[in-house]
Amino acid sequence: QDLSGSIATPDVKLNLGGEFIKESTATTFLRQRGYGWLLEVEDDDPEDNKPLLEELDIDLKDIYYKIRCVLMPMPSLGFNRQVVRDNPDFWGPLAVVLFFSMISLYGQFKVVSWIITIWIFGSLTIFLLARVLGGEVAYGQVLGVIGYSLLPLIVIAPVLLVVGSFEVVSTLIKLFGVFWAAYSAASLLVGEEFKTKKPLLIYPIFLLYIYFLSLYTGA
């Protein structure tokens, strides 16, 4: 018996939010063959739409507060200075170290990488010494404190340009800047757990900032 006829294209409709949308023949064909996944559209992930600063974990308000804590280390000013040690970050100290490197250039670009190297390995030395002396401190905390505490040296830099011809005044300002930086760092890193061993940690911190200053002045 002769059989003839035609098969009509199925009229498939999708229900999307109460509205019916007719599918095309190609769409229906793909779905019938098990390739419907090719037509799926992924929803935008809110995690992919974060601002750049949030993606990089940069909190400008937090960095600004830590800068104030370092520049004004006196307890009477009411700053919670422990946040510099207890909540360490990387981008703030890196920005301070890079800025110190920029003002130390004097046309010698190699000094930038050298200062960053001294920051990383100098902090590592202080960290190892602190752990040997019994201090409970992490390397990230030391790295952050040492980096932020370069700010006093940045503050005295323009003053040295003005009084550079007056040797006595210049020397006093340099000593003030080093003591300021070392005190700011030591007051955060040298806790009560060191007891009588405090000088063993304060002294290398002081020497580290003298070396940083020598890289700036070229002495």
> Can you spell out the DSSP letters for 62-115?
HHHHHHHHHH---GGG---THHHHHS--SHHHHHHHHHHHHHT-TT-THHHHHH
In a domain, 91, yes or no: yes
Q: Nearest to residue 181, comparing CAs of 212, 160, 142?
A: 212
Residue 191 belongs to some domain of the structure: yes
* pLDDT at position 176: 92
Scored b (16 or more CB within 10 A) or e, 175-204 reads eebbebbbbbbbbbbbbeebeebeeebbeb
Is 17 a member of any domain?
A: no
Boundaries of domain holding 97:
58-68+76-215
What integer pLDDT is reported at residue 27 of this predicted model? 66
Identify the segments of the chain with pLDDT beneath 70: 1-27, 29-56, 105-110, 193-195, 217-219
| Residue 193 covered by a domain | yes
In a domain, 30, yes or no: no
What's the predicted TM-score (pTM) here?
0.68
pLDDT of residue 16: 46
Q: How far apart are CA 96 and CA 102, in angstroms?
A: 10
Is 144 contained in some domain? yes
Domain total in the chain: 1
Give the pLDDT confidence score for residue 178 in this predicted structure. Answer: 92
Nearest to 39 by CA among 49, 26, 52: 26
Q: Is residue 49 part of a domain?
A: no
pLDDT at 88: 81
How far is C-alpha 216 from the geometric centre of its chain's CA atoms? 23
Is 27 a domain residue?
no
